[in-house]
Amino acid sequence: MTINQSGWRPESGAGLPLDTALPATATGNRGLMLEEPLIFEIGSADRSGVDIEAAPAIASRLGGLERSEAIGLPGLSEQETVRHYTRLSRQNYAIDLGLFPLGSCTMKHNPRLNEKVARLPGFADIHPLQPVATVQGALAVIHELGEWLKALTGMAAVAMSPKAGAHGELCGLLSIRAALEARGDARRVILVPESAHGTNPATAAFCGYAVEDIPATPDGRVDVAALTARLGPDVAAVMITNPNTCGLFERDLKTIADAVHAAGAFVYCDGANFNAIVGRVRPGDLGVDAMHINLHKTFSTPHGGGGPGSGPVVLSEALAPFAPLPFVEKREDGSFLLVEEETAGEHHGRSFGRMVAFHGQMGMFTRALAYILSHGADGLRQVADDAVLNANYVLRSLDDLLDAPFGASGPCMHEALFSDADHGRGGLAEGFTTLDIAKGLIDEGYHPMTVYFPLVVHGAMLVEPTETESKAALDQFIMALRSVAERAKAGDPLLKGAPWHAPRRRLDETLAARKPVLTWEKPAAAQ
């Protein structure tokens, strides 16, 4: 054996053929790709990462309900805890790692300034039921953010308490129902386009409405003629997403809104895609009566692996009197009043009530306000411009290779929609699907785009790059997606096995649903 004296790496691979299967390791780890057991497998009931001071001796006042049985909660020391979660974190894709083009989800950069301000003790460490005089700064944040949201949407009022987008939809529909009931008008139908988010019909049904579909035109927009023909004394509202889930601006929304209003109904706008038009268009100018704003989309509060969200709802003059409790009012002397049950009677007697304990997602309000102030009115307009520019760039860089079902319907907004259809570009090889393209992108180091939504397009692939991606980042993503799509068209059998390089290969979702295992149980042999 010769000694490498150069200080440089020796020539690698003593003839190891490149196609050799990866050698197994004793641990199951593969270099930096680390396997991690469950806390129940590594922790124990008598270990702890927290020192608790000894409790003073007292006579128990627990009413004879002391817990005697073991709970079954494993503990870890601090270092073991840090390692467990750090190792698990490395099995996640995230915006911090790269482009995250999930259509309709607006995965943009989450500025760290927002995290910093949300953690100021004056925001993070205040109780929702403190005397109002001791939380004037918090009420000021809610008010200031609300004023921005009203100005950006051109609407009369805002309800800040909804906890997420779907909760905002609920708020909007409850406002509409309260307004209708106040005039003794028991309408029972809500019209929802086929391309809508699943939350729209679910919310309408939750509020006790019958849901009817509105068809789309071949160019991917709401069929205005079909919609107006269906309007009548039984229709309470129309729920429209604008820009819609095909990535297109509903250019007839004002016409639709006028017809809806003439028929005595209201327009609910799903604001999930507001990012594309913020600073460019005010939904209030299009006749919208209620719209939720996902602060975790347009205003960059972090998605956190699936939440928490935040879904303030802007309301028109007609719906404002019915907005939920609580909310904040600014007094003439500059102080802030919290309008809740105690004070609602004189100020807000027609409110439909409370949707949630306390005041909504304060921790998201501080982040969203910091984001809005950072951009200002000019920057927010630039957000929409760059988001739309990036999406159109992706659309026109791929539509020669992938079918863009509405590519001829004009520019897209914030997201570019593709399908797995042929349409003269050569379809995918026999047996290959959109799912294979998605899984192939994982091997290329990307989170896939939204797939199989909207339902109106076969094998949909919905790409939303957002404004925080550079041109270089887009170019690399486009190159990767082109490569994977070409492999799907050529029928590369290796693609069917993708992902090969992720922490896990394709997971058996059918098994998970057929025999649900939702909690950990000690294996029988170990008991």
Partner 1 sequence: MRYLPLTDADRQAMLDRIGVATIDDLFSDVPAAARLDGPIEGLPGHAGELAVERHMAALARRNMAAGDGPFFLGAGAYRHHVPASVDHLIQRGEFLTAYTPYQPEIAQGTLQILFEFQTQVARLLGCDVANASMYDGSTACWEAIGMARRITRRGKALLSSGLHPHYVSVARTMATFTGDELVHRAPSLDVAGDGEDLIAALDADTSCVVVQYPDILGRINDLSVLAEKAHEIGALLIAVVTEPVALGACRAPGEMGADIVVGEGQSLGVGLQFGGPYLGLFATRQKYLRQMPGRLCGETVDAEGKRGFVLTLSTREQHIRREKATSNICTNSGLCALAFSIHLTLLGEKGLRDLALLNHARAAQVAERLAALPGIRLLNHSFFNEFTIVLEKDARQVVRDLADRGVLAGVSLGRLYPDEANIARGLVVAVTETVTDEDIDALVSGLKEVLA
- CB nearer to partner 1: pick between 160 and 227: 160
Q: Which residue has the tokens 């570009």?
A: 425
Q: How far is the CB of 276 from partner 1 (least distance, A)?
A: 9
Tell me the window of 61-69, 231-239, 259-267, 485-493 that interacts with partner 1 (CB under 8 A): 61-69
Tell me the window of 232-240, 314-322, 394-402, 483-491 that interacts with partner 1 (CB under 8 A): 394-402
Alpha carbon 100 to its chain centroid, in Å, reads 12
* Residue of 309, 405, 440, 454 that binds partner 1 (CB under 8 A): 309
Query: Does residue 53 bind partner 1 (CB under 8 A)?
Result: yes
The residues, ordered by sequence, that sit 6+ positions from 443 with a Cβ below 8 Å of its Cβ are: 498, 499, 500, 501, 502
Query: Does residue 177 bind partner 1 (CB under 8 A)?
Result: yes
- The helix or strand, by DSSP H or E, that contains position 438, with its residue range, turns out to be helix 434-443
Tell me the window of 13-21, 228-236, 482-490, 502-510 that interacts with partner 1 (CB under 8 A): 502-510
Q: Which residue has the tokens 């729920």?
A: 239
Query: Does residue 14 bind partner 1 (CB under 8 A)?
Result: no
Query: Does residue 337 bind partner 1 (CB under 8 A)?
Result: no
Q: How far is the CB of 115 from partner 1 (least distance, A)?
A: 6
Alpha carbon 66 to its chain centroid, in Å, reads 42
| Residue count (the chain) | 527
- Buried/exposed code over 482-498 (b: 16+ C-beta within 10 A; e: otherwise): eebbebbbeebeebbeb
Which residues does residue 339 pair with via DSSP β-bridges, in sequence order?
327
Query: Does residue 468 bind partner 1 (CB under 8 A)?
Result: yes
* Strand, helix or coil for residue 335: coil
- CB nearer to partner 1: pick between 286 and 495: 286
Q: How far is the CB of 385 from partner 1 (least distance, A)?
A: 5
Query: Does residue 218 bind partner 1 (CB under 8 A)?
Result: no
Query: Does residue 39 bind partner 1 (CB under 8 A)?
Result: yes
The amino acid occupying position 318 is: A
- CB nearer to partner 1: pick between 5 and 399: 399
* Residue of 4, 25, 47, 408 that binds partner 1 (CB under 8 A): 47
The residues, ordered by sequence, that sit 6+ positions from 293 with a Cβ below 8 Å of its Cβ are: 149, 153, 168, 271, 274, 299, 311, 312, 313, 314
Which residues does residue 189 pair with via DSSP β-bridges, in sequence order?
210, 235
As a whole number of angstroms, the distance between CA 308 and CA 324 comes to 20
* Residue of 99, 135, 179, 240 that binds partner 1 (CB under 8 A): 135
Query: Does residue 26 bind partner 1 (CB under 8 A)?
Result: no
Tell me the window of 11-19, 223-231, 315-323, 380-388 that interacts with partner 1 (CB under 8 A): 380-388
* Residue of 10, 25, 29, 90 that binds partner 1 (CB under 8 A): 90
Tokens of residue 527, six digits: 């008991």
Query: Does residue 239 bind partner 1 (CB under 8 A)?
Result: no
Query: Does residue 331 bind partner 1 (CB under 8 A)?
Result: no
* Strand, helix or coil for residue 187: coil
Binding-residue total with partner 1 (CB under 8 A): 205
As a whole number of angstroms, the distance between CA 269 and CA 280 comes to 16
Query: Does residue 375 bind partner 1 (CB under 8 A)?
Result: yes
User: Scanning residues 114 to 133, which ones bind partner 1 (CB under 8 A)?
Assistant: 115-117, 119-131, 133
What strand order describes the sheet that includes 290-292? 157-159, 313-315, 290-292, 266-270, 235-241, 189-193, 210-214
| DSSP code of residue 416 | E
Query: Does residue 420 bind partner 1 (CB under 8 A)?
Result: no
Query: Does residue 262 bind partner 1 (CB under 8 A)?
Result: no
* Residue of 157, 159, 281, 484 that binds partner 1 (CB under 8 A): 281
Please compute, for residue 129, the number of CA atoms within 13 A of its CA located in the half-sphere on the CB side: 3
- CB nearer to partner 1: pick between 169 and 420: 169
Query: Does residue 261 bind partner 1 (CB under 8 A)?
Result: no
As a whole number of angstroms, the distance between CA 128 and CA 118 comes to 15
- CB nearer to partner 1: pick between 84 and 330: 84
CB 471 within 8 A of CB 497: no
